[in-house]
A = this chain, B = another copy of it.
Amino acid sequence: MNDSLRTTGAFARRRIDHSMFERSGEIDIVAQELVLYLRAGDFGAVKAFFVLQELEDIADLLENMDAADALVGLRQLPLIDQAELFGDLKPTTQVALADAMPRGELARIMTAMSHDERADLYKALDPIARSAVLPGLAQAERDDLRRLASHAEGTAGAIMTSDYATLKPELKAPEALDALRRQAIGSETIYNTYVVDAQHRLLGVVSLRELLIAGTHETIAEIMEDDPVTIPVDADQEECARIIARYDLIALPVIDGEGRIVGIVTADDAFDVAEEEATEDMLRGSNIEPIGGSLSEAGIPQMYRARIVWLVLLVFGNIFSGAGIAHFEATIAGNLALLFFLPLLIASGGNAGAQSATLMVRAMATGEVHGSDWRRMLLRELGIGLLLGLTMAVAVSGVGMIRAGFDVTVAVATAMVLIVLVGVTVGVLLPFILSKVGFDPATASGPLVTSIADVLGVLIYFSIAGAVLGV
């Protein structure tokens, strides 16, 4: 027996720290230890250890070992836990494990998985694996998979799940509780239940809380909330997240054009969507295309592709700044001291503009600002920009007087105010314009607005300097 296995007892009693700040590196070490137990066939210790962990942590451990070891580890869990854990794995790990296991085993796990995660897994599999697993599934599961997998990415339909609980409106409260007990195992949540008619049209929502405190003679129709908040199946997934956050919902029912419920989006999935969208907006703000996976584990080729196009476009964009400078070569040659102030002036326009753009982008993403608000936002930002520009002009004037004399200082201070005003104007308007023409406004908030501000800054500065200095 391996030396490191002497501590079986200690290993089996160990529990992974849930504080993410404290456990950096811990997962790796525990995963290596776990592999030793798995390879030694000491499944008793593994099972004892697994009982103490959360499934999400076990999933992290399995991510950190070979597919063959991970598969042996997975098999030490009951089927229901295997199915839940499988949904927590990254798509690449899911596919690797799916490829490593017999198709019958995969079909059993998929049958037990929650319906949305199962559909996501199905979408991640290659066509061969898909057709291999389908015969192992019951007809109902196959139909459900095809239905859930048919919705376009980024829509409510693509993130909804079909394992929700339903009730008939004529049931009495105690009958409804019994019906829910029977549906509890197969449903993603039973805390909200959906009341449907014979055509599966959504009539209302009942919370388990209301059901529990209802009188025994009350019917579902009496205690349900009529006309609940819903979302169309083809609505944007971001809107699901916003509505769930706004109305503090446990789940949001998704309806088709005829008012039939076709699925629900749960709050935890909406949370993930909001996180993804925030990440995407932040990356786009630095002109990085969405990576769609781990930021820290994306490979060099993937990262290169996500970044190079915009960087090269911006290089060419900045040629205009260079051309602007070349245009004013005579002015510059006549007074090389002007160059001293060039970087700080053009950077100031870009910095103030990036601030305005970031504010607009975020307020648009959280639904606080809409396309029609652009005039109001521009007016406010111009007011702020004037104050910012004046302050920055004062700050730079001291340096200007020491360094370059009165005339240059006047030129620099005047240019500063104008450049900052132009910067915030570009920063406010660019997100609205991008959004209007169908692009992601988040693209505006970083290098793009900076580059535009740079070009305009060069033109403004040297034009003013030329006029003031009479070159």
Residues in A lying within 8 Å of B, measured CB to CB: 15, 18-21, 24-25, 52, 54, 56, 177, 180-181, 184-185, 190-191, 208-209, 212-213, 227, 229-231, 235-236, 239, 242-248, 250, 267-268, 270-272, 274-275, 278-279, 281-283, 285-288, 294-296, 300, 303-304, 307-308, 310-312, 314-316, 318-319, 321-323, 325-326, 329, 332-333, 336-337, 339-344, 346-348, 350-352, 354-355, 357-359, 361-363, 366-373, 377, 380, 383-384, 387-388, 391-392, 395-396, 399, 445-447, 450-451, 454, 458
Taken together as a complex, chains A and B put the C-alpha atoms of A208 and B121 apart, in Å, by 29
Partner of A307, one of B246, B384, B458: B384
Residues of B within 8 A of A295 (CB): 359, 362-363, 366, 368-369
Find out whether the CB atom of B454 lies under 8 angstroms from the CB atom of A315. Answer: no
Instruction: State the oligomeric state as a number of copies.
Output: 2
Q: List 14 A-B contacts (CB under 8 A).
A: A19-B235, A21-B367, A184-B209, A245-B272, A274-B278, A282-B445, A283-B359, A285-B285, A285-B358, A287-B351, A288-B358, A311-B351, A323-B340, A354-B446
Taken together as a complex, chains A and B put the C-alpha atoms of A352 and B318 apart, in Å, by 14
Q: Given A275-B274, A279-B362, A344-B321, do A288 and B355 touch, yes or no (CB 8 Å)? A: yes
Find out whether the CB atom of B342 lies under 8 angstroms from the CB atom of A322. Answer: yes
Find out whether the CB atom of B181 lies under 8 angstroms from the CB atom of A213. Answer: yes
Find out whether the CB atom of A15 lies under 8 angstroms from the CB atom of B227. Answer: yes
For the complex with contacts A20-B242, A321-B347, A339-B339, 8 further pairs of A-B residues with Cβ separation under 8 Å are: A19-B231, A56-B246, A181-B213, A283-B358, A308-B392, A325-B343, A343-B346, A358-B446
Question: Top 10 A-B pairs ranked by shortest CB distance?
Answer: A321-B343, A24-B370, A318-B344, A322-B340, A278-B278, A286-B358, A295-B363, A20-B367, A248-B268, A351-B447
Taken together as a complex, chains A and B put the C-alpha atoms of A20 and B332 apart, in Å, by 52
Find out whether the CB atom of A316 lies under 8 angstroms from the CB atom of B355. Answer: no
Taken together as a complex, chains A and B put the C-alpha atoms of A358 and B286 apart, in Å, by 7
Q: Select from chain B the residue with minimum beta-carbon distance to A347.
A: B318
Shortest CB–CB separation between residue A217 and chain B, in angstroms?
A: 16
Residues of B within 8 A of A285 (CB): 282, 285, 358
Partner of A181, one of B18, B190, B212, B272: B212
Find out whether the CB atom of B239 lies under 8 angstroms from the CB atom of A19. Answer: yes
Find out whether the CB atom of B340 lies under 8 angstroms from the CB atom of A326. Answer: yes
Shortest CB–CB separation between residue A55 and chain B, in angstroms?
A: 9
Taken together as a complex, chains A and B put the C-alpha atoms of A102 and B348 apart, in Å, by 51
Find out whether the CB atom of A359 lies under 8 angstroms from the CB atom of B308. Answer: no
Partner of A318, one of B247, B279, B343, B384: B343
Find out whether the CB atom of B445 lies under 8 angstroms from the CB atom of A348. Answer: no
Taken together as a complex, chains A and B put the C-alpha atoms of A457 and B372 apart, in Å, by 41
Partner of A275, one of B52, B366, B458: B366
Taken together as a complex, chains A and B put the C-alpha atoms of A243 and B370 apart, in Å, by 32
Find out whether the CB atom of B323 lies under 8 angstroms from the CB atom of A332. Answer: no
Q: Given A21-B239, A368-B296, do A343 and B384 touch, yes or no (CB 8 Å)? A: no
Taken together as a complex, chains A and B put the C-alpha atoms of A303 and B19 apart, in Å, by 35
Find out whether the CB atom of A358 lies under 8 angstroms from the CB atom of B450. Answer: no
Taken together as a complex, chains A and B put the C-alpha atoms of A395 and B319 apart, in Å, by 11
Find out whether the CB atom of B282 lies under 8 angstroms from the CB atom of A358. Answer: yes
Residues of B within 8 A of A272 (CB): 245
Taken together as a complex, chains A and B put the C-alpha atoms of A362 and B52 apart, in Å, by 31
Residues of B within 8 A of A446 (CB): 286, 351, 354, 358, 446
Residues of B within 8 A of A180 (CB): 212
Q: Given A278-B278, A304-B384, A354-B447, do A296 and B191 touch, yes or no (CB 8 Å)? A: no
Taken together as a complex, chains A and B put the C-alpha atoms of A186 and B354 apart, in Å, by 47
Shortest CB–CB separation between residue A101 and chain B, in angstroms?
A: 25
Find out whether the CB atom of A355 lies under 8 angstroms from the CB atom of B247. Answer: no
Partner of A344, one of B281, B319, B363, B377: B319
Taken together as a complex, chains A and B put the C-alpha atoms of A361 and B52 apart, in Å, by 33
Find out whether the CB atom of B340 lies under 8 angstroms from the CB atom of A325. Answer: yes
Taken together as a complex, chains A and B put the C-alpha atoms of A344 and B230 apart, in Å, by 49
